[in-house]
């Protein structure tokens, strides 16, 4: 479902205009009705990746229309193309070229490989896959405890089966290709030739590369970079660590379903992590709920855009200031009956209870407060309330 307001529709229409000459079909029509038999199926990698690209660009526009401006961007694998366009390091047309060429290259590898996610540190995963005689390799390091492997389909199936009854969480990712592995090496010369003429430029926002593991200026995002993006491991962990180290603590995932939110949350318990949409929940209410969460954590929001475009007009407030006067009565505090706690009355003005100690002697307890002894207010110096000296010298 396409998210409205109108700036978002205009953005997705611009994506459609950039993608359609390259794909031969309309991503706008596909997002409006994925079941249209005249359109290619979303299950194909060369279809879903351009669709995700348009969704990411459109959702970034949706957040901006609501007053949420990013300070920095980061992408994971193909998501780096979306991030580069949002940061203005690539034009929309160049971004469309990259995503279409990249997804078509991957299409040539379908039915030959696979990928799997393991909730284990990369060093441990490297040891685990040694038993598969080079058929598997590290495809992505999401966080310090989350790793993706890529390789031959039979080896992926064996890995998932071998770890099924162990303490290692491992599940197959629903793809039938092995990107970020030697499987794509033969595709790279043709892909780089197809991406010749890209005109990357300095990014307007800070662009954090999950290929290089840190911020880059933007000029580096040429055809060679995107070939490396497809072949080399994704080091999202390093890019994320760099973001956190530089003080970024609010993350919004611009995708139709939150995939990286778990990794982001696991990397920092202090970070605020939000998705945009959820599978089967593609309406505007999720965006507005997220906007409210951001606003509650101190981020700005354009509530005028929300009220004027997505709901009734704002109600009139009373033309007088709110009276902030408390009307709840203060209940009188009574001294507790110490006998109910197994103690004896101490018969002392301050020390209300006495208990005999096993080794001899007595323990006296009591409580001082203005509620019990209003005259203590005469011993208040600025804010602190001092215990009267006469009480400290009481021989009793």
Give the range with max mean pLDDT: 255-259, 307-311, 373-377. Answer: 255-259
The pLDDT assigned to 285 comes to 84
Mean pLDDT of the chain: 87
Indicate the pLDDT class of residue 27, thresholds 50, 70 and 90.
very high
Residue 347 has pLDDT above 80, yes or no: no
What value does the mean pLDDT take over residues 178-205?
Answer: 96
Any long-range contacts for 15-24 (C-beta under 8 Å, 24+ apart)? 15/53, 15/54, 15/57, 15/58, 15/92, 15/96, 16/54, 18/92, 18/93, 18/95, 18/96, 19/50, 19/53, 19/54, 19/96, 19/99, 19/100, 22/96, 22/97, 22/100, 23/47, 23/50, 23/100
| Cα gap 137→178, rounded to integer Å | 10
The pLDDT assigned to 333 comes to 56
The pLDDT assigned to 336 comes to 53
Nearest to 229 by CA among 139, 113, 149: 139
How much of the chain, in percent, has pLDDT values that exceed 70?
89
The pLDDT assigned to 1 comes to 38
Residue 5 has pLDDT above 50, yes or no: no
What value does the mean pLDDT take over residues 57-62?
Answer: 94
Indicate the pLDDT class of residue 187, thresholds 50, 70 and 90.
very high
The pLDDT assigned to 3 comes to 42
Residue 349 has pLDDT above 70, yes or no: yes
The pLDDT assigned to 308 comes to 63
β-strand pairing of 113-118 with 170-173: antiparallel
Residue 166 has pLDDT above 60, yes or no: yes
Task: Specify the higher pLDDT residue, 149 or 383.
Answer: 149
């Amino acid at each position: 479902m396409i998210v409205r307001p109108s700036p978002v529709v205009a953005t997705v229409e611009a994506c459609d205009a950039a993608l359609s000459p390259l794909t031969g079909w309309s991503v706008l029509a596909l997002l409006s009705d994925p079941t249209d038999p005249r359109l290619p199926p979303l299950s194909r990698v060369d279809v879903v990746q351009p669709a995700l690209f348009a969704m990411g660009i459109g959702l970034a526009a949706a957040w901006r229309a609501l007053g949420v401006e990013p300070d920095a961007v980061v992408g994971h694998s193909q998501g780096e193309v979306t991030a580069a366009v949002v940061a203005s390091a690539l034009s929309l047309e160049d971004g469309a070229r990259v995503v279409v060429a990249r997804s078509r290259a991957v299409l040539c590898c379908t039915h030959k490989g696979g990928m799997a996610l393991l909730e284990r540190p990369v060093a441990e995963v490297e040891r685990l896959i040694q038993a598969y005689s080079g058929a598997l390799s590290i495809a992505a390091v999401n966080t310090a405890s989350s790793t993706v492997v890529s390789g031959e389909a039979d080896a992926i199936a064996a890995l998932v089966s071998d770890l099924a009854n162990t303490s290692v969480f491992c599940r197959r990712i629903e793809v039938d290709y092995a990107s970020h592995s030697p499987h794509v090496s033969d595709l790279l010369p043709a892909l780089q030739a197809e991406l010749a003429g890209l005109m990357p430029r300095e990014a307007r926002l800070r662009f954090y590369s999950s290929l290089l593991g840190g911020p880059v200026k933007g000029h580096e995002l040429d055809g060679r970079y995107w070939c490396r993006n497809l072949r080399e491991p994704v080091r999202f962990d390093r890019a994320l660590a760099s973001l956190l180290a530089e003080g970024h603590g609010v993350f919004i995932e611009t995708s139709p379903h939150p995939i990286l939110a778990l990794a982001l949350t696991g990397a920092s318990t202090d970070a605020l992590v939000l998705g945009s949409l959820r599978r089967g929940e593609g309406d505007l209410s999720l965006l507005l709920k997220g906007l409210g969460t951001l606003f509650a954590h101190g981020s700005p929001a354009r509530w005028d855009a929300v009220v004027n475009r997505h709901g009734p007009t704002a109600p009139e407030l009373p033309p007088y200031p709110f009276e902030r006067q408390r009307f709840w009565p203060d209940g009188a505090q009574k001294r507790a009956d110490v006998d109910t706690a197994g103690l004896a009355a101490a018969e002392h003005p301050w020390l209300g209870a006495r208990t005999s100690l096993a080794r001899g002697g007595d323990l006296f307890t009591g409580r001082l407060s203005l509620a019990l002894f209003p005259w203590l207010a005469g011993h208040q110096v600025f804010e602190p309330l001092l215990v009267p000296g006469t009480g400290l010298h009481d021989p009793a």
